[in-house]
Amino acid sequence: MTTTENISEALLQGAIDGFWTTVPPVWNRIKGNVRAIATENYDISVEQFHILRHIRKGLTSVSELAEVKQISRSAISQAVDILVDRGLICRRQNTKDRRNIPLELTESGDKLLDAVWEKNRAWMRSRMVSLTAQELETLTCAMEILSKTFAE
Amino acid sequence: MTTTENISEALLQGAIDGFWTTVPPVWNRIKGNVRAIATENYDISVEQFHILRHIRKGLTSVSELAEVKQISRSAISQAVDILVDRGLICRRQNTKDRRNIPLELTESGDKLLDAVWEKNRAWMRSRMVSLTAQELETLTCAMEILSKTFAE
DNA sequence: TATACTAGTTAAGTAGCTAAACTATTTAGC
DNA sequence: GCTAAATAGTTTAGCTACTTAACTAGTATA
């Protein structure tokens, strides 16, 4: 084995360790912030927030939501029921493929999502505002690498 | 407002967007991999895996685990009960502060954690092995930035 | 045109979470 | 030193979110 390979392998292991040291607690903290905003002010759960967010992003089917969240379709179906009951989303029709039931945010769901989203964004901004331009670029670049590496 | 401030603000918003686009699905995928390994081969849940992992890293009290996972102490306490029943961890004594009950992996817990950890590491490695040294460095650097930005 | 597959739902059961009330111990204020 | 407050952890009851299995309905395949 060459020296170059050893260095690469060390870098790779270091990146994996770094990921595991960093991402779970950071993600838990950010989720904690969303939970506080969403449950205290708007009476929705973090999971419901995620579903609204994905629907707005264009993931409008139960199957797509299940895929991105890596949980069962039935779990999504049940969560969707609750959001429909609350008038935050609605089920549409797809005449091309009638098995598919596209989901759509209602006006009320759209506003609620905006409100939670904006508060979380302000909190994240307050944390990140002291970072340098260089650091922000590194973060953005890293996100692109992670996306392409772990995309389905 | 100067041009520099506009550029910085755009970078900041871009980094926040990138985070939200990337981290939740990537983390769900990796958690999905751990779930498959842990439940199919070793009959423990992802949450139990996380607790074992944190204990090994040195977070040995119920309160520390609750803090890092951003859930209640009682939830941790219950999860710990199950892991103790299964013989994967044990409760020790702290004579300096008898309120504190340090947790420790048993030999069996240690081996189980190694096994799950190693399989996940191999999977992540297979995904990341095609990244360049430059990209791996960007990832590692980004992890450090995230840690310092969102650390408690 | 049967059959295999895909999209989504329903139902029953389980895991994991919370809030509140509790015990036990330590720290702080007078 | 002694009371009051704070901290560490547990227990309980109840709820939310998940799973698997069985189901309906629609589409693609051979």
Q: pLDDT in tens for each of the 152 residues of chain B?
A: 666 667 789 999 999 999 999 999 999 999 989 999 998 889 899 999 999 999 999 999 999 999 999 999 999 999 999 999 999 999 999 999 999 999 999 999 999 999 999 999 999 999 999 999 999 999 999 999 999 999 86
Please report the pLDDT score of residue A2 as a whole number: 62
* CA-atom Rg of chain B in angstroms: 19
Instruction: Dump pLDDT digits (tens) for A33-68.
Output: 999 899 888 889 999 999 999 999 999 999 999 999
Mark which residues 61-90 of B lie under 8 Å from A by CB: 68-70
The 10 Å Cβ neighbour count of residue A66 is 17
Enumerate residues near strand D (beta carbon within 7 A): A 45, 47-48, 69, 71-72, 74-75, 78-79, 82, 96-99; B 61-64, 73-74, 76-78, 80-81, 91, 97, 99-102
From the list A49, A152, A22, the residue with the least C-alpha distance to A105 is A49
Contact B12, A124 (CB under 8 A): no
The answer for residues whose C-beta is within 8 angstroms of residue A28's C-beta and 6 or more apart is: B68, B69, B70
Q: Which two tokens stand for residue A49?
A: 């927030």
Distance from CA of B144 to the nearest CA of A (A): 8
Strand C closer than 7 A to residue B99 Cβ: yes
A-B C-beta contacts closer than 8 Å: 154
The answer to whether the Cβ–Cβ distance between A16 and B125 falls below 8 Å is yes
Contact B147 A29 (CB under 8 A): no
Find out whether B108 and B87 touch, Cβ atoms under 8 Å.
yes
What's the whole-model pTM score?
0.90
pLDDT at A8: 85
DSSP 3-state of A103? strand
Contact list in A for residue B55 (CB cut-off 8 A) is: none
Nearest to A118 by CA among A42, A63, A18, A23: A42
Integer distance in angstroms from the first to the last C-alpha of chain B? 32
Q: How do residues A101-133 score in pLDDT, each as one tens digit?
A: 999 999 999 999 999 999 999 999 999 999 999
Residue in the block written with tokens 């993931």: A59
Q: How far is the CA of A66 from the C1' of C12 (A)?
A: 21
Which chain B residues are closer than 8 Å to A76 by Cβ?
Answer: none
